[in-house]
Structure 1
Amino acid sequence: MNLKICHLYPDLLDLYGDRGNILTLAARCRWRGIEPDIQQASLGEDLDFMSMDILFIGGGSDREQGLLVQDLMRREDELRKAIENGLVVLAICGGYQMLGKYYQMANGERIDGLGILDVWTIAGTKRLIGNVVVELNQTILEGDSQRLKTLVGFENHSGKTHLGEGVSPLGKVVFGNGNNGEDSEEGVRYLNVFGTYLHGPLLPKNPHLADLLLELALKRRGIDTLLLNLDDRLEELAHKVMVKRLLKQA
């Protein structure tokens, strides 16, 4: 068995160790006897979104975001169809913003997004920086009481993202800022698309989220099976220590 994992624009979108998310997915596949087929694609390269199992888009600057949106616009229909077909997507920071309707810069100029997600982003006057703890929505946990119920990560963004209709946040911020520092929401979920501002990278700190992405990718393939349990005691201990430390500061 193999899973096709595509890292989109790795040369332009890779802030704060975002590549670590790909390494984590690949490792957690191999440890279970699943062969990860890692693909990298950049500007102008042909892509077959329907054939992918997981698509990862990392974070980058406003300038890079403007360039990449134009590149993605020419294949928006294909990406949209794949997402409606259940493609698993993890989008971080700038990648998250690009999937939305638009990003309004501080000078009032708007960078149109793909409009796949009903979210929009407006540049703020200060950066939202620091560690974050998020209490996950129960729908994200999918009834699995054994999963960790929080996400931890690091944010650094000036854009304030707001959610519209048909999407839901990943969870409630209990430490940090999240989407906009105003409504206590962090990230977004739409079908199998997960958008978030959490860097760090995200998945090594949250192996339960990595496994959820893998499970969803397998289900899309028609393989409805539980993943082999891994010994995540050290990862979960590190996660819980971070949560405890930050909540003491709250």
Structure 2
Amino acid sequence: MTQPEFAVAQPEHGELRILQLYPTAMNIYGDWGNTLTLARRAAWRGYRPVILEYNGGGELPEADIVVGGGGQDSGQEAIIEDFARIGPELVRRAEDGVPMLVICGMYQLFGHDFTIVSGRVLTGLGILDVRTRGTETRLIGNIVTDSEEFGTILGYENHSGQTELGPGARPLGTVRVGAGNNGEDGTEGARAHNVVGTYLHGSLLPKNPAVADFLLRTAAERRYGEFAGADLDDSAEERARRSAESRPR
């Protein structure tokens, strides 16, 4: 994919490397927009974004932020062998505090395992203490969740996998409107280290700048010791959020 260009605010504060995992197989419902949002918000603050992609084979590039998108069961099956190969490195980075955002199918694979409808078990990384089983029922529609860490989080869910949190995971939020992890326990997503796992597409980050800035802030502080740049005017995002929050399920 061609590297997009971003006008970087002055003064410049250095580069931030944003890595998208398997964008060919795992990039559904506009999840690539999360990477573009991170790059744009980084540039507005004076950081020079470098977008990287990894589609399998070779070494996993070094990065300040890791992003993974959703995909169908077939996409997960296509990457699973290579994913297992790079898994130990992803675990090491997560435990070292690298901020990561993993959506839907990649969220499932960051858990212990995902049992797809056919009965095949795809072994995950166990970074998040969650387990997922495929069902014939799809959980679809606009979703509103409340997070102690990020406030109100808005998005769109479309998944047949149902995820259960173990004792080592804390939910990203509680569901106000929608189904969330499984439609039963009122939880959505999971958190561990600086990893955010969620079912929210949409793309997630354009409507949720607090989550985007958590990833950027964590990355910048790890690399440079501070998060520089002026605060951004998110009034347009707030208008979009109010509109999205008012939409029916």
TM-score in terms of structure 2 length: 0.90
- Supply the distance in 1 between the matched residues of 2:95 and 2:229 (Cα, whole angstroms): 24
Aligned match of 2:125 in 89, 114, 118? 114
Q: Which amino acid aligns with 1:221?
A: R
Give the deviation of 1:130 after TM superposition.
Answer: 0.4
The residue aligned with 1:74 is 85
Aligned-pair CA distance for 1:115: 2.1
Residues 1:35 and 2:48 aligned together: yes
- Is the contact made by 2:45 and 2:228 (CA closer than 8 Å) also made in structure 1? no
**Does structure 1 residue 65 correspond to structure 2 residue 76?**
yes
Q: Is this contact kept in 2: 1:9–1:42, CA < 8 A?
A: yes
Displacement of 1:68: 1.4
Alpha-carbon offset, residue 165 of structure 1: 2.2
What secondary structure does 1:17 align onto? coil
Q: Give 1:144's aligned residue.
A: none
Partner of 2:110: 99
Deviations 1:198-247 (A, max 9, x none): 0010001111211111011112225234652111101112102322x14x
User: 1:89 is matched with which residue?
Assistant: 100
Deviates more, 1:27-36 or 1:104-113: 104-113
Root-mean-square deviation (CA), in Å? Answer: 1.5
Given the alignment of the two structures, is residue 221 of structure 1 paired with residue 232 of structure 2, yes or no? Answer: no
1:142-221 correspondence to structure 2 within 5 Å: 149-221=151-223
In 1: Cα distance, 2:168 partner to 2:32 partner: 29
User: Any conservation in 1 of the 2:130–2:164 contact (CA below 8 Å)?
Assistant: yes
Secondary structure in structure 2 of the residue aligned to 1:91 = strand
CA contact (8 A) 2:127 2:192 kept: no
1:69·1:114 contact (CA, 8 Å) conserved in 2? no
Count of matched residue pairs? 236
**d(CA) in 2 for partners of 1:196 and 1:41?**
21
Task: Tell me the residue number matched to 2:15.
Answer: 2
Can you give the 5+ residue segments of structure 2 that lack an aligned partner in the other structure?
A: 1-13
Quick check: 1:11 aligned with 2:11?
no
Cα deviation for residue 119 of structure 1 reads 0.6
**Range moving further from structure 2, 215-224 or 165-174:** 215-224
DSSP 3-state at the match of 2:29:
helix
Identify which range, 124-133 or 109-118, moves more after superposition.
109-118
1:72-123 superposed Cα distances (whole Å, 9 cap, x missing partner): 1112221111111101110000010011111112233322112222111011
Structure 1 CA distance for aligned equivalents of residues 60 and 152 of structure 2: 34
Partners of 1:75 and 1:22 in 2: CA distance: 20
Deviations 1:136-195 (A, max 9, x none): 1x2x24xxxxxxx20111110000011112211111000011111111100111010001
Q: Cα distance 1:198–1:227, how it changes in 2: closer, same or farther (>3 A)?
A: farther
Q: Which moved further from structure 2: 106-115 or 165-174?
A: 106-115
Counting aligned pairs with the same residue, the percent is 46
TM score, norm. by length of structure 1: 0.90
| Aligned residue type for 1:197 | Y
Q: Which residue of 2 aligns with 1:45?
A: 58
Structure 2 counterpart of 1:127: 138
Structure 1: how far apart are the matches of 2:39 and 2:208?
15
Long gaps (5+) in structure 1 = 142-148
